[in-house]
Amino acid sequence: MSSPVDIKQNCILDSQDWTFPVPIAYGPGRLREIGTHCQRLKITNPLIVTDRGSKNLPFISLLGEHLRKASIQPQLFYGISPNPRDDEIEAGCIAFRTGKHDAIIAIGGGSAMDGGKAIGMSVDSGFDLWDFEYNKPLPEVGAGRRFPVFITIPTTAGTGAETESTAMVTDVGKGMKFCLAHPGMRPALALLDPELTVGLPSNMTAWTGVDALTHAIEAYLVQSFHPLCDGAALEGLALISKWLPIAVKEPENLAARGGMLVGSCLAGVAFLKGLGFVHAISHMIGAEYDTQHGLTNAIVLPVVLRFNLPGMEDKVKRMGDAMGLKNPSVEAFIIEIEHLLDEVGIPKSLGEIGVPADCVQRISEKAILDSAAETNPRTATIEQVRTLTETAILRAR
């Protein structure tokens, strides 16, 4: 396996197009600026998209208040579940068309932001939702068609969904999650206000935080030349490993909340490079058993690291540096990650969160086809994916 240095030497003469991230407004209390941003972006009639669980949370009414102060009367669509489904996206499209909206403001966790993106992709582009599947040719949205202006406001830290134009959506008929993407759905603004994450319960703080941790690690391990993403991954890892345990223990600590929000945003930027088998397996478990995404990833993470990391000592060293570890071995690095997972209360197996052992073959066959599997740093046979899945279900650590 090539070391990162080899990759840079091999790729430094290749052409690269770097087009990210997006305009970001970061800082405590900045939600109050949303009206000004809407006016700047010529938004007059936005549809607010959130998930069912967030419908009655204070940030929804706060967002509405700030918009009304700017003479904008928003409507709310809250029909998105933790793993967004295609039938929910269709319901969101109907709400958008009925209200003749000109923009989408997605506020909440990753499911709200993914739901908002998926609605935006299919509502007025002239294409079906599944035409935007990541591996298909990019739909060319013709004259008279458009993507609505799109703003993201994450209230967890996080899925990192706020800067990207990709969305995971479950095809209910197939029982599989698919990655949808189109550069036209890139947010015009990501508004990062750590005050909005202060009320997040400690279990959700932990679960969304370990998702961000997984993004930073999986993205950094992808074997392609992308120094911008790699830098974001390492800085994200540094912030997350420092602030996650504090944010879980001290929910009111605004510095910890801010560190996590920026860290998860950087990790989200990093995974433009791709992800790996943690996400590939987790996507399919989530699609079938509706398990929480970050929690599922966190349980699978050490299992996949034990498979991927041997031979990647250079990358392990740089990740260890970011976490303040002195030249860790592969095993020492994984043990440190396991300590972090223990510290924030992550269970030790998927079995403990209700995933049965008899799904191994089915989940493995689906996972190996997931778009995240393509960028895993090590190729795997179906038998190897079976072993990873089975280990994660029975006893991951």
Instruction: Return residues touching Zn ion (CB under 5 A).
Output: 211
Q: Name which of 96 and 207 has its Cβ closer to Zn ion.
A: 207
Place of tokens 């458009």: 146
Q: Name which of 51 and 195 has its Cβ closer to Zn ion.
A: 51
Query: Is 109 in a helix, a strand, or coil?
Result: coil
Q: Compute the least distance from the CB of residue 216 to Zn ion, in Å.
A: 11
Rounded CA separation 234/249 (Å): 24
State the CB neighbour count (10 A cutoff) for residue 291: 20
Measured distance between the N- and C-terminal CA atoms of the chain, rounded to whole angstroms: 26
Q: Name which of 63 and 233 has its Cβ closer to Zn ion.
A: 233
Task: Name, in order, each residue with C-beta under 8 angstroms of 13's C-beta and a sequence gap of 6 or more.
Answer: none
Q: Are 182 and 138 in contact (CB under 8 A)?
A: yes
Handedness of CA 12, 271, 373, 353 (dihedral sign): positive
Q: Compute the least distance from the CB of residue 214 to Zn ion, in Å.
A: 6
Question: Which two tokens mark 136?
Answer: 């298909």
Q: Compute the least distance from the CB of residue 296 to Zn ion, in Å.
A: 9
Q: Are 145 and 106 in contact (CB under 8 A)?
A: no
Q: Name which of 300 and 368 has its Cβ closer to Zn ion.
A: 300
Q: Name which of 211 and 370 has its Cβ closer to Zn ion.
A: 211
Q: Name which of 211 and 390 has its Cβ closer to Zn ion.
A: 211
Phi-psi region of 238 (alpha: psi -120 to 50; beta: other; left: phi over 0): alpha
Q: Compute the least distance from the CB of residue 327 to Zn ion, in Å.
A: 29
Rounded CA separation 277/218 (Å): 8
Q: Name which of 86 and 211 has its Cβ closer to Zn ion.
A: 211
Q: Compute the least distance from the CB of residue 111 to Zn ion, in Å.
A: 11
Q: Compute the least distance from the CB of residue 282 to Zn ion, in Å.
A: 7
Q: Which residue is nearest to Zn ion (CB)?
A: 211
Q: Compute the least distance from the CB of residue 264 to Zn ion, in Å.
A: 10
Which of 282, 113, 123 lies closest to 192, judged by CA? 113
No. of helices (H) and no. of strands (E), the chain: 14, 8
Give how far the C-alpha of residue 281 lies from the chain's centroid of Cα atoms, to the nearest Å. 15
Q: Compute the least distance from the CB of residue 164 to Zn ion, in Å.
A: 11
Which of 216, 184, 214, 223 lies closest to 282, judged by CA? 214
User: Rounded to the nearest 5°, which phi and psi values hold at 257?
Assistant: -65, -40
Q: Name which of 195 and 211 has its Cβ closer to Zn ion.
A: 211
